[in-house]
Amino acid sequence: MSTNRKIIHIDMDAFYASIEQRDNPELRGKPIAVGHAEKRGVVATASYEARKYGVRSAMSSVKAQKLCPQLIFVPGRMEVYKQVSAQIHDIFHEYTDIIEPISLDEAFLDVTENKKGIELAVDIAREIKQRIREELHLIASAGVSYNKFLAKIASDLRKPDGLCTIHPDQAEEFIAGLPIEAFWGIGPVTAQKMHTLGIYNGTTLRNCSLDMLTRQFGKAGKIYYDFARGIDLRPVEAVRIRKSIGCEHTLEKDITLKSSVIIELYHVACELAERLKAKNFRGSTLTLKVKFYDFTQITRSISVNTQLHTLQDILPLAKQLLSGVNFEKRPIRLLGLSVSNPKEDISNTTNSNITAYIQLSLNFKD
């Protein structure tokens, strides 16, 4: 396993909230949430002052206000956030052009052969943190390691304004004591399933055979098997291939009536078809997402031999997926649809050239 390469990953904590506080001095030091305060509203990002009360992204606005009665809601300004993200990327490009954007507020950078000839990845991370602070008046955390998995974890360890390195000779011991919930890509549902299998941390995960993990978790089992051993072969991809397009609607009120659900599903399918046309995207898998009144959610997928791109392609399959969902006693809060698995999928998920990474995690995102 090669551990001699270096990369930077960006993960911006409280991104929107930090920008709002930067641009409006009256909001500094106060608990704020970017989003809308109405009954059906959802928190996009919460400031650190609000997080002390338990306010988190994706939380309903009603719950957030109960946790923090003095919470200030601020409407989002997406165009501004895009502009700031571009400014951050301009800084990155002074060190490397191998940048893999994950979203507006997250990216990996390969600095193995960086433009400034800086030998140590940690020095690049420190320099970028300082420039972001001085030029954009925002705070960044950085994690340094030899692959994406460990770099991302490292960046989360000392937020905000942190800098953490996981060296190759420390990785095995570090992973052994890592709670399974902290592993990248393992959410609450998967973690609970692992608990029932006696898997609680890196050590117990490492004791599982590849056969057992793939039997229990499918293709993801191989990823978990590798992660437990500090292996992450994914390269930093300078050009990300779009792999899916989707949309979702939060309903004005929770619904259980089948005719109402079908109407809402139709509207989501129409919007999805428009997005597919605008992006000239086609895929062979349709996924339905349903979030219930209690914020629990499920997904259902179906793959076909044809390429999905019109309403006529999507709606019948969406209804078929919905027919397998029992919502008579579980009111629906949100419906979503997405198309994935494009015909021309040239993404490369395994590469023998493992890259050591710096993950820079700017303190702007949840």
pLDDT at 203 over 90: yes
* CATH assignment of the domain containing 199: 1.10.150.20
For the record, the structure tokens of 39 come out as 């009954």
Tokens for 344, please give them.
């021309």
Query: Residue 349: what pLDDT?
Result: 34
Report whether 257 contacts 318 (CB < 8 A).
no
Q: Does a structural domain hold residue 91?
A: yes
Report residue 241 as tokens.
């291939």
Are residues 153 and 114 both part of a single domain?
Answer: yes
pLDDT band at 12 (very low <50, low <70, confident <90, very high): confident
Q: What is the mean pLDDT of the chain?
A: 88
User: Does residue 160 share a domain with residue 182?
Assistant: no
82 and 200 part of one domain: no
Residue 346 within a domain: no
148 and 9 within one domain: yes
Give the model confidence (pLDDT) of 283-339 as tens digits. 999 999 999 998 888 999 999 999 999 999 999 999 999 999 999 889 999 999 999
Q: Over the stretch 59-100, which tens digit does the pLDDT of each residue have?
A: 999 999 999 999 999 999 999 999 999 999 999 999 999 888
Residues 138 and 22 occupy one common structural domain: yes
pLDDT at 345 > cutoff 50: no
Residues 262 and 214 placed together within one structural domain of the fold: no
* Domain match, 15 and 121 both: yes
CB 19 within 8 A of CB 138: yes
d(CA 139, CA 87): 14
- Residues near 237 by beta carbon (within 8 Å), at least 6 away in sequence: 100, 347, 348
Domain that holds residue 210: 178-227
Q: Within a domain: residue 94?
A: yes
Q: Choose among 249, 352, 366, 350: nearest CA to 1.
A: 352
347 within some domain: no
DSSP class of 240: P
Q: Which residues are catalytic?
A: 106
* 350 has a pLDDT exceeding 60: no
Query: Phi/psi class of residue 295: alpha, beta or left (left: φ > 0; alpha: ψ in -120 to 50)?
Result: left
If asked whether residues 328 and 360 sit together in one domain, one would say: no
pLDDT band at residue 122 under the 50/70/90 scheme: very high
Domain total for the chain? 3
Instruction: Say whether both 161 and 259 belong to one domain.
Output: no
**239 within domain boundaries:** no
Answer yes or no: is 194 within a domain. yes
18-45 as b/e: b if 16+ CB within 10 A: bbbbbeeeebeeebbbbbbbeeebbbbb
| Residue 364 reports pLDDT greater than 80 | no
Mean predicted confidence (pLDDT) in 144-159 = 90
